[in-house]
Structure 1
């Protein structure tokens, strides 16, 4: 049985300082889900996910060519970006 993980990779750049990156598991998608079914779950999460660094800021969501989603500040306002992607959890 495959467990899929929906992860968020947030990049935040404060004014005048170096950007830092934080990766966290948004939620696991377990059960007998195929990759295609897990990608449907990723799409649902992407539509509703608001990264911590973008709370209170108007955002736009777009899908990248690799199937991941970007949550970005609308109109270029803000100093953060979030990439949501699906990965397969590997257990020894």
Structure 2
């Protein structure tokens, strides 16, 4: 989760593409250059440890965009594939 936040914050679209699960990846994974990400707080995690195949991360990401400041709140699902973690989608209970 932290590496994906950093990728959004620095505009590293290649990292975003590589860490999005291929079965769930949208056609356009480019970050919005008009958005400045200003902070990340991990609220809680479930599973996602060394021996887990999946996990969730609830987070709050602060930003400034064309319409002013805001907070993105999400409970994200991740899956391990070939030893690496991939973002799949927001969890339904976000």
Task: State TM-score, norm by structure 2.
Answer: 0.25
Give the greater-gyration-radius structure (CA): 1
Q: More helix per residue: 1 or 2?
A: 1
Higher normalized contact order (CA 8 Å, seq sep 6+, divided by chain length): 1
